[in-house]
Structure 1
Amino acid sequence: MREQDNRLEQNKQEEPVSILSRSLLTGFIGGVLGGFFGLVLYYFNFSEVAPKSYVLRSWLSAPWIDTWLGNVISIFMMGVISLGTALVYFMLFKKINTLWIGAAYGVLLWIIVFYVIQPIFPNIPHLTELKTDTIVSSICLYILYGTFIGYSISYDYNETIIKVREKEASK
């Protein structure tokens, strides 16, 4: 009878999802949310730069880029690109469980995007040509993004380590 109970679906334990997989999922969701809020900032004129300026307009000149489809694809692409930033954070800072590292990571990402690799985005004005509203709102968005990515990944990593240690101690 007990063997039969172990085979039932409700008695099977779930396979744990790796910390890295959850971190990448966090990165994708953070990128999608960041792209969406970047689009909101653009539509309400808080920013001169839309997410599609980075992702699509830099390499394509199709008329559909300015439609809702261009916005949706841009937001999705921001999620895919964000997988890389989440992976970098996971590899470098996952053990540091504080909000400040995530906020600093967001500022670092802003500096990289708006200053270091800006020349590969011909549709984005140089940093000195951007309005103050664009600079302030984009820095805030990147800080929010970095905090989301950073604290989510660090918190998940540290909670998983605690659970593993508790499990080992109970054996």
Structure 2
Amino acid sequence: MENSKQLDQNKKEKPQSSFSKVTIIGFVGGLIWSVIAYISFIFHFTEVGPNFFLTSFQVGGWANAVTGQLVSIFVLSVVSIAVAFLYQAFFKQFQGVLPGIIYGLAMWAILFLLSPLFMSVIRPVKELQIATITTSVCIFILYGVFIAYSVSFEAMERKRNESNYSNKS
């Protein structure tokens, strides 16, 4: 009996692949920060809810209802997976909070400054209330830090584990 307990304790879990970890980081990051954006929208801290992209596709009135917001939260969570992989591909070697702040600000700039030039997803920044700008910048900064810090930490842990494994051989 005691011998089987010891065998169970000695078994190590098979580590998750980098792909699955980054997928989870991206999805959870998108889910958390989209929900926070929706809460900010409900309490009128921002005029832009998670459904900002649905309303530009003329999908009907449901896009402005709770259903549209929830569908948008799910879609943004899935899109966030690509955002996490983009960070992993180009910036995972950067450590700390500052790269995440920059990444979040870059995503905000693309969405709020560049997208109004090409499509009517969001009104131009000069037409938005200061509360919307401030809230959305803060949410994007926190989202960027979440993605950057999590992906960089995962990459650093993987590198450390690989180096420990190669030292034991």
Q: TM-score, normalised by structure 2?
A: 0.88
Match of residue 49 from structure 2: 50
Runs of 4+ in 1 over 3 A off after TM superposition: 8-15
**Aligned-CA RMSD value:** 2.0
Match of residue 127 from structure 1: 125
Match of residue 87 from structure 2: 89
1:31 maps to 2:30: yes
Match of residue 20 from structure 2: 21
CA distance in 2, matches of 1:76, 1:13: 34
Q: Which segments of 5 or more consecutive residues in structure 1 lack a partner in the other structure?
A: none
CA positional deviation for 1:90: 0.4
* Count of residues in correspondence between the two structures: 164
CA distance in 1, matches of 2:119, 2:15: 40
Post-superposition Cα deviations, 1:66-116, rounded to whole Å, max 9, x if no partner, equal 332211111001111111211110001111121110111000000000011
1:154 maps to 2:136: no
Spell out the pairing of 1:81-120 with structure 2 (5 A cutoff): 81-120=79-118
* Counterpart contact for 1:20–1:90, Cα < 8 Å: no
* Counterpart contact for 1:27–1:79, Cα < 8 Å: yes
Q: Which segments of 5 or more consecutive residues in structure 2 lack a partner in the other structure?
A: none
> CA 1:51/1:120 → structure 2, altered by over 3 Å: closer, same or farther?
farther
> CA 1:58/1:10 → structure 2, altered by over 3 Å: closer, same or farther?
farther
CA positional deviation for 1:14: 3.9
CA distance in 1, matches of 2:11, 2:58: 50
> CA 1:103/1:124 → structure 2, altered by over 3 Å: closer, same or farther?
same
* Counterpart contact for 1:24–1:83, Cα < 8 Å: yes
> CA 1:114/1:121 → structure 2, altered by over 3 Å: closer, same or farther?
same
CA distance in 2, matches of 1:160, 1:123: 38
| Partner AA of 1:53 in structure 2 | F
| Partner AA of 1:57 in structure 2 | T
Q: Which range moves more in the overlay, 68-77 or 119-128?
A: 119-128
Identical positions, percent? 32
Post-superposition Cα deviations, 1:2-35, rounded to whole Å, max 9, x if no partner, equal xxx8xx9987654432213211210111111111
Match of residue 68 from structure 1: 66
Post-superposition Cα deviations, 1:53-76, rounded to whole Å, max 9, x if no partner, equal 22x111133222233221111100
| Partner AA of 1:66 in structure 2 | N
